[in-house]
């Protein structure tokens, strides 16, 4: 019962308010990133389960973004300082999560009060280590020391500490256009699947949040998305293929023969 209670508290810590138009990316452990369609409306949701076992970052829309491109952002994310900080925080988060949820109840049951306080001390030590590492990393991103310490303070909590790696990554991408961040994080084919409907809607006069296109080279993207190899029919908006038919069941637009430019 104690394990269930602690796991539930840690899970609830991941509930967040996601603004309308946000782009949510998620991954499992160190696997590839995946992306969801832009959020249709503001709501409370649980983007990730027991971070860092499953991590999620929310790229909320902003009025202005810093000028950068996917290559420069990718170089920053793969740079030794930030990459090492994210890796270490994720590893510390996994250890702290297991010690908190499994170690405390086991130590109490097996060794009594002495075991419980020893495990609690280990949890607090891990939280303090995560807090210091997070403050150092945030300061390296350009925050003054006082602001870095204040920003990192919530992650002293044993229930919030496992989320420190995704918090640092989200802070790194806070002023980056969602399209640029998605292009840097996602595998190439996954990024094209995500951006295809957005480019199609913008090209064909449909309603679309233009902030999702900031930082993209639309001319190059249109050229790479204009045709679909293979057999049968395909949807120029979502890229789905069909053996036969006249319109896409999801997008409700006319299908195009494979190998034919979509206009």
Domain with 239, as residue range(s), is: 199-257
Same domain (yes/no): 70, 102: yes
User: What local confidence, expressed as pLDDT, does residue 262 receive?
Assistant: 60
In a domain, 157, yes or no: yes
The alpha carbons of the chain give a radius of gyration, in whole angstroms, of: 22
Same domain (yes/no): 221, 147: no
DSSP per-residue letters across 202-228:
HHTT----GGGGTT--HHHHHHHHS--
In a domain, 188, yes or no: no
In a domain, 140, yes or no: yes
Same domain (yes/no): 35, 146: yes
Same domain (yes/no): 28, 132: yes
Which of 152, 182, 212 is the endpoint of a domain?
182
Which of 157, 182, 207 is the endpoint of a domain?
182
d(CA 140, CA 86) in angstroms, rounded, equals 13
d(CA 159, CA 138) in angstroms, rounded, equals 20
What contacts 153, CB < 8 A, 6 or more positions away? 131
Same domain (yes/no): 12, 41: yes
Instruction: Please report how many Cα atoms fall inside a 13 Å half-sphere around the Cα of residue 108, on the Cβ side.
Output: 13
Q: Where are the alpha helices (DSSP H) in 13-163?
A: 70-78, 80-98, 104-140, 145-152
In a domain, 190, yes or no: no
Closest by Cα among 121, 148, 107 to 3: 107
Same domain (yes/no): 161, 206: no
d(CA 96, CA 66) in angstroms, rounded, equals 34
Same domain (yes/no): 245, 124: no
184-238 pLDDT, tens per residue? 898 888 888 888 888 888 887 777 777 777 777 777 777 777 666 667 788 888 8
Same domain (yes/no): 153, 73: yes
- Residue spans of the chain under pLDDT 50: none
User: What local confidence, expressed as pLDDT, does residue 88 receive?
Assistant: 92
User: What local confidence, expressed as pLDDT, does residue 121 receive?
Assistant: 92
Count structural domains, the chain. Answer: 2
Same domain (yes/no): 71, 111: yes
Helix axes 80-98, 104-140, angle to 10 degrees: 160
User: What local confidence, expressed as pLDDT, does residue 91 receive?
Assistant: 92
pTM over cut 0.75:
yes
Is residue 76 within 8 A of residue 172, CB to CB? The reply is yes
């Amino acid at each position: 019962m104690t394990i269930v209670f602690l796991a539930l508290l840690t899970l609830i810590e991941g509930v967040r308010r996601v603004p309308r138009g946000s782009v949510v990316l998620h991954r499992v452990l160190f696997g590839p990133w995946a992306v969801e369609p832009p959020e249709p409306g503001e709501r409370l949701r649980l983007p990730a389960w027991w971070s860092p076992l499953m991590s999620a970052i929310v790229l909320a829309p902003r009025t202005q973004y810093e000028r950068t491109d996917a290559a420069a952002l990718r170089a920053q994310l793969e740079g030794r300082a930030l990459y090492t900080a994210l890796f270490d925080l994720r590893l510390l988060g996994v250890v702290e999560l297991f010690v908190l949820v499994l170690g405390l109840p086991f130590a109490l049951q097996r060794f009594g009060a002495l075991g419980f306080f020893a495990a609690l001390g280990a949890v607090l030590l891990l939280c303090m280590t995560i807090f210091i590492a997070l403050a150092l990393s945030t300061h390296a991103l350009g925050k003054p020391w006082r602001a870095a310490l204040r920003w990192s303070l919530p992650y002293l909590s044993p229930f919030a500490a496992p989320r420190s790696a995704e918090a640092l990554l989200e802070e790194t991408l806070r002023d980056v256009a969602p399209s640029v961040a998605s292009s840097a994080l996602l595998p190439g084919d996954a990024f094209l699947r995500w951006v295809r409907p957005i480019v199609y809607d913008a090209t064909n006069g449909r309603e679309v949040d233009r902030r999702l296109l900031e930082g993209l080279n639309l001319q190059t993207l249109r050229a790479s998305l204009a045709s679909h190899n293979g057999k049968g029919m395909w949807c120029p908006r979502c890229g789905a293929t069909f053996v036969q038919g006249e319109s896409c069941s999801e997008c409700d637009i006319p299908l195009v023969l494979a190998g034919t430019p979509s206009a």
